[in-house]
Structure formats: structure tokens, C-alpha cells
Amino acid sequence: MNIKAAIIDHEMASLSEREIFACSQEQKEALYRRVSEHPEIMGGVLLNTCNRTELYLSMKDGVKGPDPFVFLCDSLDAEAEQFQPIVKKASGDEVLSHLCALTSGAASQLLGDSQIITQVSDALADAQDRDATDSSLNTVFRLGITAGKKVRTDMNLQIKDTSTVDLAIHAIEDAPTVKSVLVIGNGTIGRLAAERLAKMGYSVTMTLRQYHNKEAIIPAGVSIVPYPERYRQMEVSDAVISTTASPHVVVTKTEFEQLTHRPGLLIDMAVPRDIDPEISGMPGVTCLNIDELSGGTLEALNQEQKEQLNEYIDTYVSELHRWEEQKKRKEADIARLTSPERDRSERRYFPLFIDSMDRLAIVIGGGNIAERRIMTLAEFGFRIRVVSGTLSETLQRLVNAGLVEWQQGYVAADERDVVCEERRYIDLAEAAEGAWMLLACTNDRETNRTIGQFGRENHILINVCDARNESTFWFPAVGLSDELTMGLVGTGKDHMNVKKAAASLREVIEKKTYK
């Protein structure tokens, strides 16, 4: 994984500095175009909220690639060298560690921030919709979001308030003269604030741009006013909450000064700011920006919480390492499979697990090999018929129990092999009648060869115990538990190797040491 991130947030950047890196929609479009066009970049995700701008870039393996901060500055026409002191950088495991802390709310300006996990999810979804991500970014963000949800379920990081909307509403509640509120902006934050205030009994009006009329969602109990009439509405409002995505101020000092009645409380939740900062110096007006609303950092965690959070982070970083190993193995497999030097016949027997219930398996031969294979077949619901002149004690017990049918007699390679008049010989076609699977397990090489040829010519699954090249399937070493079925075969070069490996794997699945 070759991922790097540039992080500009409240810890090191002031509100005015964060405003410079707040991307407009046009700037975001241009940035993602540059991501898709760069030959060394595999994908990118831009996270842009009121408290942070973060750019994650996934590079091709083995290349340095562009610096995400320089890339971001170039996209915004900002001077990278000038702003180096305010950026934090992360790479490799640090990227996931940061995302875990961020989505859990531990790295937010407001400790336990309930909005950040949705904002991170939305940033990933936006990048995916643009086909701007790769498997590495998708995995890192998936793990980061999952970690955040887990931490929120198991740990209590909340100190008092859980979102900037809560803080804005508390600021309204703390102003006893406020009865009417104008909300400028019809985005998610604006709608949430308007809905909450309306339910609390405030008179709430929300601005609406004309070209958004058809798609706007207006909360119940909230009035609307055209956006150009916002100043007129301010004259009958006690407070204003502004939450637009405008790149410029939407409440200027010049226009505000001309109001005959000025709202006494202005809450600016936007970055870049919606409300002219110079208004805050006017008499009789309280103006709060996002930094003045928020509080709480990672330093507010107690030592026990820090240790617990780090344990969660370590868990998900380890999961990332496992994913990376799987990815490396996959790449190695692809390289091997597509190599022009590969011998396709190297592995020609697929471990196919089939429904074996009531299928007829006919085993010709009654010695030790036949016994072992019949014992295995009996585990899987086969109807089993053994064709042999004699039976071992074990096979006789299976016959007596009704698990195995015995057709007594011998199969000869051809009529010339019928040399013992005391033996009863059975025609091979008669012995194999109805077989779905045929196993040649006699102690005679020529007889086994003949059985193998018969099976192949009649399209019956055939296993010849002493000649793999005459078989259409290999009989595996089998391991069983109440949950798992294992089948293991080797190349035929080292039977002892297969035997040892099978014994080890049987112990694993029987004792469940994999759990």
C-alpha cells in the first residue's frame, strides 16, 4: 500500500488559514480531474469540512508520487511553502491510524463529534462516484469507518455536546431574547438546525435559492424566504445561523450596517466564513464562528481512553496488514498464472466438493487400499458396492451393518486371465453397472489399467489406485470436524509428505486451533 495524506485541521491551522483550503465545487472538480490524469496516482479522496481539509492519494507501488499537500496547494493556487507549518502529513499505517481516530471522534475539534463519521463516509462515496478510488483507498477508508463505529459503540468519548449543531442551538438557548431565527443555507447542517429549532418552538425561516426550489427539502414548521431577501428577513429576526457552501461572504458588513433592526446573535458555521468577520466588532452584536463554538481535542481523553483507543487502532492496522498480504499473494498468483512459461498441466485436478448423497460408488478390490477408501466414502452418504473375492474383517462389518453391498467375485483384465476355475469371475461391464464413481483398487496392474480404460470410455469418474495418469480424479486425504471438510492431494511425487500434511491439518480442524 502506497498511500499518503495531507491533513489541515483545527489543531494547527486557524480559521482564516482553513478558509484558504476550503474547496469550492469547481475546485473539487478540478482537483479530481488532476487525480485521474496523473500517471503515478491510482486514486484520491478529498475530505472537506468546516474544521478540516484532507487529501488522500494512493500511488502506484514502488513510486514516490506527488506530495499530497503540494498537489492540494497547486489545485487551489496556494503557495505550498508558505503553509507548510500548518500541515500534518501521514503515510502507510499512519493514514489508517489517523482515520480511526478521526471517525471515532477523538481527533475532532469537538470531542466525540457525531457528524464526522458521516462526513468521512460521504467523502469516500463522492470519490467512488467519480471512479477516483482504488482498492487500497477503499480498504483503508472501510477499515477506518468500521473502527470509528466500533469505538463509538464500545467507548464513551462524548464530553457534553456531540455536534456543532448542538452547540449552535445551545448558543440560541443561552440568549433569552431570541424568539425568531433565520437560517441561511439549505444544506444538511442548515436543515438539521432549522428542524431542531422549530421543534423547540422557535419561529424559524430558511433561505432558499430559486434554482434549488424543486429539489429543496424544507423541515416541518419552517418558513422559507428567497435567498436575495435574506437582509429583509434579518430585520424581523433575533438571530441568524449561516451554513452555506459559498466561497464568499453572504452577509457583508456594509449591508448589515444598513439594517434598521439588527439581529443580536450571528452564528457562522461555514468555512470559508459566510459572515463578514468585521461585523463581530459592532456594538450590540454577538458573532460566533465555528472555532468559537467548538471545543475538545484528543488531549481531553484520559489515559485509559487513550490506551483503549490505541488498542482499537492497532487491531484495524493489523487487519490492514492481512489485507496487504492477501493482495500480494493475489498479485503473485496473477503473475504466475499469466506467465508464458507456466505449464498449465501442472495442476489439473480441481478440488471439487459435490453432493454425494446416494450416488453409487463401486470399488473393485477388497484389500487395504479399498478398505481405506471405502471407510472415507462411507462418511459422505455414498451407496457403496465392493466387488472382490474376499473381504477384510473391517469391510465385512460394514457389509453386516448395511453400509456396503458386497458383490463377490473377481474382475479379470481379459478372458485369458481367468486361470483359476475355483474363482468366480465377473464381467467388468456387469461389475460396474450403474456406477457414478469407479475405484480400481486391485493388486494387479493390468486389471487396474483395464478398469481405468473402461471408466474413461464410459464417462464414469474413475480413480486407479496405482496410476494417477489413468484416473479422471484423485482420491484425497480427508479431514473432518463438525464444521469443516478438508480434502488434500499432492503431486504424486511424495506420498509421505501428503500424509504428514494431512495429519497436521486434521489436528488443526479437529481441535479447532484456527479459532
Strands 383-388 and 52-59: unpaired
DSSP string covering 44-60: EEEEE-SSEEEEEEEEP
Reference 93, options 326, 300, 322, 308; nearest CA is 322
Cβ(330)–Cβ(352) under 8 Å? no
Distance from C-alpha of 44 to C-alpha of 64, rounded to nearest angstrom: 15
Strands 52-59 and 3-9: antiparallel
Name the active-site residue from 23, 50, 73, 465.
50
Q: ω before 272 within 30° of 0 (cis)?
A: yes
Residue whose grid cell is 478540478: 30
Q: For 281-427, where are the alpha helices, taking DSSP H only?
A: 290-293, 303-337, 368-377, 393-400
- Concerning whether 50 is annotated as a catalytic residue, the answer is yes
Q: Which three cell numbers stand for residue 187?
A: 444544506
Strands, DSSP E only, in 10-100? 41-48, 52-59, 88-91
486: Cβ contacts below 8 Å, ≥ 6 apart: 478, 479, 480, 502, 505, 506, 509
Catalytic residues: 50
